[in-house]
Copies of this chain bind each other. A is one copy, B any other.
Amino acid sequence: MSIQFERITLIGIGLIGSSLAYDIRRLGLAKEIVVSTRSAATLKRAEELKLGDRYLATSAEAVENADLVIVSVPVGASESVAKEIAPHLKAGAIVTDVGSTKASVIQQMQPHMPPHVHFIPGHPLAGTEKSGPDAGFPGLFKGRWCIFTPLPDTDEDALARLRAFWEAVGSRVDVMDPAHHDKVLAIVSHLPHIIAYNIVGTAEDLETVTESEVIKYSASGFRDFTRLAASDPTMWRDICLHNKDAILEMLARFSEDLSSLQRAIRWGEGDKIFDLFSRTRDIRRSIVEAGQDTDAADFGRHALDAKQS
């Protein structure tokens, strides 16, 4: 792989930022990696992990002379980062982000971007339930989608360069309208996480079933929800606040459907329940066929168990 950028600056060095750092280094995509984060402890940890070439507490200083700036912070922090870096960006620099909501990030960042930089909002659909620089690893983006939601007047050349970068780390790139991105993510990602957080809360509050029973018998289904619900609370609070409309729309539909299913259970409408429970199998099959999941039963946990014993 050849060098694509002289200097790449990573603002925020959590799971996404640190994984990018590993990939940029191992693939030789930049001559220099500059790491910046507000938290002194995180910056120190990034240095211990040797994620960059230089480590700076202020993003203003960090973006100086950078050809590519990647902002990987909770979406609620987008505006303050934009304000801070804007006066220090060099002409022709590409500024992108990795936020899970796009209309809000554009609204927060775009007004501050000087006309001589290329601001291209992006969202790699990659991650795990872990967070922080220790959670990052090379290859996180391999085979995963990265969605760009470029503004109408985006420079084609800058777009092509950013696409080449994400493709170099193994992503497949899609282009989408920001509002549509937010609706798609509301159903495939935001709603599942919100529901997972919610059911874990419900379980914790029960009086008739103890928390230790919930933990002990969690393998029957509940544990899969707890994995999603172990995700970074700041990141997910910000997503809820910044993709409100799409999330509320999906939540309303979900609740409506759940009330209908609840009624079918109450009145013993077996056929109606069976019909719903049958049609969902096809979607699962399509997801496995599309390579978005493994067909290994129970996520292949049994295969892992067998190897360990």
Name A's B-contacting residues (CB within 8 A): 125-130, 135, 137, 139-140, 142-145, 180, 183-185, 187-206, 208-209, 211, 213-231, 233-234, 236-237, 240-241, 244, 247-248, 250-255, 257-259, 261-262, 265-266, 268, 270, 273-274, 276-281, 283-287, 290, 292-294, 296-302, 304-306, 309
Contact = CB atoms under 8 A, between A and B. Distances in A.
A215 B287 contact: yes
Contact of A274 (B222, B237, B268, B300): B237
A258 B195 CA distance: 8
A contact patch SS: helix
A115 to B, nearest CB: 32
B218 A188 contact: yes
B213 A276 contact: no
Contact of A270 (B216, B224, B241): B241
Cβ-closest 6 pairs across A and B: A189-B220, A128-B297, A233-B277, A192-B221, A230-B284, A229-B280
Contacts of A190: 221
Most buried by B among A127, A203, A241: A203
A234 B274 contact: yes
A266 B284 contact: no
Given A206-B187, A225-B192, A244-B268, A216 B299 contact: no
A266 B241 CA distance: 8
Contact of A241 (B199, B221, B265, B294): B265
B224 A228 contact: yes
Contacts of A222: 187-189, 192
B253 A255 contact: no
B223 A293 contact: yes
Contact of A300 (B135, B250, B268, B304): B304
Contacts of A225: 192
A304 B208 CA distance: 39
12 contacts: A125-B219, A142-B309, A144-B219, A145-B219, A189-B217, A192-B221, A193-B221, A230-B280, A237-B277, A244-B265, A293-B301, A294-B304
Contacts of A254: 198-199, 202
Given A192-B224, A287-B223, A277 B125 contact: no
Given A129-B284, A184-B217, A251-B258, 18 more contacts: A139-B302, A139-B305, A180-B208, A184-B209, A187-B206, A188-B203, A189-B217, A194-B265, A195-B195, A195-B258, A216-B290, A217-B292, A218-B292, A227-B293, A227-B298, A237-B277, A255-B262, A294-B304
Contact of A251 (B206, B253, B257, B262): B262
B253 A292 contact: no
B140 A194 contact: no
B224 A302 contact: no
A228 to B, nearest CB: 6
A10 to B, nearest CB: 20
